[in-house]
Amino acid sequence: MEKSFVVVVGLMVVLTIGFVFFALPKAGGPSSEKAIGLYARDSGGLAAGPAAQQLSVREITVEATNFKFEPSQIKVRQGERVRLTLKNAGGTHGISVPSLGIDLQAGAGESKTVEFTAGKPGSHPFLCHLFCGSGHADMTGAIVVEDAQGNAGESPSEVRVRGTANGFSPSTFSVKAGKPVKISFSADGDAGCAKLLVLRGTDIKLVSANGETAEASFVPAAGNHAFTCAMGMFTGVISAS
């Protein structure tokens, strides 16, 4: 009699300990599981520690249709970890953010994702870099990285663009709205249609037929100002904020 009583009590103790160790951590909820999952992906599978609980990733989905990005103005905080998804909801588009080294391309109806940490404050214009049709040059936007005080860095008053056989280099610029901006443009000998730079919405057309530098100035309103080559194949953007 006594022996079986001990066995029953022993079993209860074992079951109680088992419940505490296995059942309770699961009740921790999806948030802790998510954080651990992100942490593991982030650092190549390092063991999740207390730091995993503090890690958060900002999810941003940009929907691309013919011919715009939604949203096109994105604000993030300096130091923030961002997961950027391009969702091609209509047509085939890409997002290029040269100053952040981001290059996403997705087929029609597909999505592509990239993760990055928002570095120095500033505006990082982006554009579609897959020729998608008549409104291709309209597909622009900007990721603005703000510091804790809401500032977004310095902006130059001159942009220097080179026309090349592969398009404009650089293709994105960030400037101050309402301040005069000078565009200096020169093209390589084999630049083809990129020997001409057309600033849309203005009468500015800069030609560099033999490598010479052509210049023009304008006062940008806040927003994105696209420029294209003669055929509209190659595009760039001057983002003013």
What's the closest the beta carbon of residue 236 comes to Cu ion, in angstroms? 13
Q: Give the span between the Cα atoms of 178 and 220, in whole angstroms.
A: 6
The one among 48, 132, 175, 226 contacting Cu ion by CB under 5 A = 132
The span of 14-22, 81-89, 105-113, 127-135 binding Cu ion (CB under 5 A) equals 127-135
Kindly tell me which of 78 and 224 has the beta carbon lying closer to Cu ion. 224
- Let me know the angle formed at the C-alpha of 227 by 77 and 165, rounded to the nearest 5 degrees: 105
Contact yes or no for 205/233 (Cβ under 8 A)? no
Residue (88 or 208) nearer to Cu ion, CB: 88
CA distance 19 to 193: 71
Tell me whether residue 39 or residue 227 sits nearer to Cu ion (CB atom).
Answer: 227
Binding-site size, Cu ion (CB under 5 A): 4
Cβ atoms of 116 and 134 closer than 8 Å: no
C-alpha 73/C-alpha 185 separation (Å) is 27
Task: Identify which of residues 127 and 159 has a Cβ nearer to Cu ion in the complex.
Answer: 127
Contact range with Cu ion by CB under 5 A, out of 22-30, 38-46, 131-139, 146-154: 131-139
CA–CA separation, 137 vs 200, rounded Å? Answer: 9
* Contacts of Cu ion in 136-155 (CB under 5 A): 136, 139
For the four alpha carbons of 11, 14, 18 and 20, in that order, the dihedral sign comes to: positive
**Chain-centre distance of CA 46, in angstroms?**
26
Choose one: 4-12, 26-34, 123-131, 189-197; the region binding Cu ion (CB under 5 A). 123-131
Q: Using the rule CB under 5 A, give the single segment among 69-77, 115-123, 125-133, 212-220 that binds Cu ion.
A: 125-133
Looking at residue 47, the DSSP 8-state letter turns out to be P
Q: For residues 78 and 92, which CB has a smaller minimum distance to Cu ion in the complex?
A: 92
Query: CA 6, 8, 12, 14 torsion: positive or negative?
Result: positive
Which of 132/238 has CB closer to Cu ion?
132
CB 219 within 8 A of CB 180: yes
Select 132 or 183, whichever has its Cβ closest to Cu ion: 132
Shortest gap between Cβ of 57 and Cu ion (angstroms)?
A: 27
What residues contact 25, with CB distance under 8 A and at least 6 apart?
none
Question: Where does this chain touch Cu ion (CB under 5 A) — which range of 48-56, 80-88, 118-126, 134-142?
Answer: 134-142
Residue recorded with tokens 């309770």: 24
Shortest Å distance, C-beta 95 to Cu ion: 10
Binding site for Cu ion (CB under 5 A): 128, 132, 136, 139
